[in-house]
Structure 1
Amino acid sequence: MMGAGPDLKEEIITRGYECRTGEVVVTPGFALRCRHIIHTVSPKYVAKYHTAAETSLQNCYKNVLYKAGELGARSLALCIINSPRRNFPPDVAAHIALRTIRRYLEQNAQPRLVIASGACAAGAALLAALAPLYFPRAPHEADAARWRLAPDPAPDRRIRIIHNPHSQNSDSAEDDTSLCDEDAAVEAAAAFARACSPDTQRLLAPASRPAPYIDRRLLDDHEQYDRLLRRAKNEDLSEVSGIGCLYQSGVDRLGRPVVVFIGKWFPIGDIDLDKALLYLIKLLDPIVRGDYVIAYFHTLASSANHPPFSWLKEVYTVLPYKYKKNLKAFYIVHPTFWTKMMTWWFTTFMAPAIKAKVHNLPGVEYLYSVMARDQLEVPAFITEYDMTINGLHYFQPDTNNT
C-alpha cells in the first residue's frame, strides 16, 4: 500500500478503521490508479486449528469479492492474501483462493479479475499452475481436474451441528414424526448455513419489524408452559433457528448433553423475543428430562446482544422446575466485567437456585476438563479470538478428577 501515499495512512488514523480477521474495510485509492482499496486481515495458520484458519482465509477472499460487487467494480486486482509470515501452507492457500473465486464467479456477475503476486512470487506461480484445474480452457484440462481435485470436505465451511435433530428421550409419536421430517431438517440446515456466513445480518434482515412481545405473566405457570410447548411444536420457528445461536453440541465426560449459546449471534433488535422463547422451549424440552449443562460464549458480544432483564426474568419464571433442577453447570466463556456483575446480580436476586452452578471461564480450553475436544463445536471466530488472547495449549485438564 506504499503506492497510495501518505494520505492512506492519514485516512486510517483519522477515521480509526478496525479490521478483524476475515473482515474487510474500504478506503479510497488515493495515489493508486483505482477508486477503492479493499483491506482484509489474513488468519494465522496453526495445524491443530487448521479448519478455523482455512475458513477464515476463505472468508477473506469471499468478503473482498462481495464487497467489490457491492461497490460496482468492473475490474478487481486481487492480491494473494496469505503471506509466509502467517505460516499458511502455500498449496492449501492456493486451492482455497481459486475455489472461492470459482464459486463466486459461478453465482455472481463476472468482473475482470487480475491476481497480483504481491510480496509472494512463489504463491503466484503456484496459483498459475493450479488455475487450469479450476478454470479449464481445454478438454484435457477439464479431464485433469476431475481426477486431481478431491471434493471439498466441508462445502461452504458450514458448522456441522445445527440443531438437536435426534433425541433419545422422545416419549411421543408426535415428537418422532416432527424430528423425522426431512423437509424441515433440510430447511433448518440451509438457514443455519446462511447464519454462518459473514453476511449474517444482511441475509437474516427481517422484512418487517418483529411483532410486539406478549406479556404472559397473568397465566398460571404450568398452564402457560404447556401452551408455549404446544405453540413451539406447531409454529414455524425457522426465523430463530436459522440464526444458529442455540444448539446442542455433544455431551460432557459424564454423558450429559451440552447446550451451546453464542451471544454474538443473538441480535436483540432484529429478533422476535416471543419466538426466541418458543425455540428455546422446543430445543430444551427433550433435553432437560435428564441432567444437562449449558455453555454460553460471550465472545465479541456487544450491547446489541444483551437481552432485557424483564425477558430473562420471564424466561426463568415460566420454565418448569426441571430446568433448574437438572441443570448441573452453566459455563460463561470469555466473560467481561459487565457480564460478571450482571450475572451476579441476576443470580442473587432473580435466580438464586442456579447461582452455585454458574462458572466464569477465561478460555475455551477450560471446558476440556469437563468435556472432550471432539464433543465441542463452536464457530471459528471463537477459537480465533481465544488463541489471540490466551495463546496455544494454555490449559491442561486433569481428567482423573472429573
Structure 2
Amino acid sequence: MATRLKVVDVSTLERWGGDSVPAGNHHGSPFPYNPKLNQKLILWRGDICDLNVGAIVCTTNERLTDFSGVARRIHSRAGRQLTHECRATEGCHTGDAIVTKGYHLPAPYVIHTVGPRFSVKYLTAAENALHSCYRRSLEQTVEIKKRSMAFCVINTESKGYPREQACHVAVRTIRRFLEKYIEKIDTVVLAMDNDIDLAIYNAVMPLYFPRDPNEEKKAVKKLPKDIGNALGGTTIKEREVRIRHSLPTSKPNSLSEVRYVASRIGPRTMGGGGPEVEVKDDGPLIDTRLATRQEDPDIARQRDEVKITEKERARLLEESTYKDYLLRAKRADLSDLEKYRFIYPNGKDQKGRPIIVFVASHLPAQNVDMDRVLLYIIKVMDPLVTDAYNLIYLHTNIAPANKPSYSWMRKCYYILNRKYKKNIKNLYLVHPTWWVKALFFFVRPFISSKFYRKIHYVYYLMDMYETFDPKNLKIPNHVIKYDQITNVAYYNERYASKRASRSARREEL
C-alpha cells in the first residue's frame, strides 16, 4: 500500500498579519506599516516540499546537479522526471532563476536559483547576487502567472553566507517587490526547515514588515545603515549619477544662437557679394556647469581595496563568521548538553580573572553533534572571554570516545575569534599524554609564538594549587584520585622534603 504524502494548503497557514490600523508612514520608516503587504506573507516552519503553492524555490548549483539539503528533498519528492529536465537545461547562472515542472510535488512548478558564495572582499557582489536570486524568483512566479510561491533559505552554510546578513537581503527584497507588484502575487511563504533560521527571520522580519505602528517605531532604530535601493539591492554610491549644478533656466537670446551657429559654419559673405562679416565667438560652446569630471568608480574601488590587507580581510571574515555562530548559540536549545559538564566556569583567580574548566573525559565526542558542542562552548565562554581569563584543560582518563576529530578542533580554532586567543592569560594542560603533546607539536606552525608561551603543562595538581586556591577549584573526583594514585611517589618525596626543611629550620632556631 502506497504511503500517502503530506500536503499543506497555504490557506490553512497563519499570515504575518497586523493590526487593523490604517496603513501609512507613521514614524518616517523606509518600510512603513502596511497590513495589505503583511497579509501576503507567511513565515512557516516545515518542509517546503509539502506546500501546495504555485511554485517553490530550490537552491542549487549552476549545473542544477546539487542533491544536498533542500534540493535533495525536492528531487526525491518530485521524481526522476525533474532530474531529467534539469539535466536537459543549459544550467543557471549565479543570481538567476529558471523554471521547471514540479511533477509529483504538490507545487506545479519549481524555480531553481543559484546563490552566491560569500566573500568579504566581494561583499557587495555577494549581496547583489543574493538579492537577484530572490527578485528573479519572484519575477519568474509572475511570468508563469502564479499567485503564490514559497522560498526556502537560499543562502547555504556550504557557501559561507552569514545567516543574519542574508536574511536582511531576502526580506527587504521581498518587501520592495511586493510594494511594486502588490496585485500580482497573493502569497509568499518563507519556509524554514530549522529553528535557527526561524528565530533569525522572526527577529528580522518586523524591521521590514512591521505589524503595527509601535513595531514600526521600534524598527526605525534597529534598521541597518544599508537598507538597499528601490528594488532592495545593495546601493553603490559611487555609481550614482551626480549633477552638481542645475541647467540654466533662462532662454538663450537670438544673438547667442546666431553666434553659436556662426562659429560652427565659419565666416560667410552677405548675399549679393557684399563684404564679409565675421561673428566672434564669446566663449566656450559647452556650459561647464552642466558636468564635472568624476573618477571612474571601478578604479577608485580597486585602489581602495589595495589599502585593505589580506590580514584585514581575514579578520573581517572571521568576525562575520563568529557573529553568525554566536547568534545561533544564543538562540539554540542546548540544555541537553549541560548534563555532561565538559565545560563550566569556575570562579575567578586572585586578580579577578575568570577561570574556565574543560573536562576532556566528559566530552561525548562520538555520541552527539559536534557542531552543537561548538555552539555550547561559545555560549559558555563568550561572556567570560571579553577580558583576560584562564583556561584549565583536564586531559585525565580521556578515552577514544572522548577524542574529537582533528578537523573539528581546527574548525574551533578558526571560528573562536581573536578575543579568545588574545585574552587568554594561561592555558593549563593537566595530565597531558603523548597525544596532547604531539597535537601541539604539529599545530605549532599554525599558532603564534605569543600564544604558545601561554601554554603550561601540569603533571601534578599540587603545582597548579600554587597558582589557584584548591578550595575554590571544582576539579572532578576522578581527576583528583588519578593524580593521587599516579603521583603518590612524587607527593611522598615532596612531603618528606618539606618535613626535612621544616625540621632544619627548627634546629636553626
Q: TM-score w.r.t. structure 1 length? A: 0.43
Of Structure 1 and Structure 2, the greater helix share is in: 1
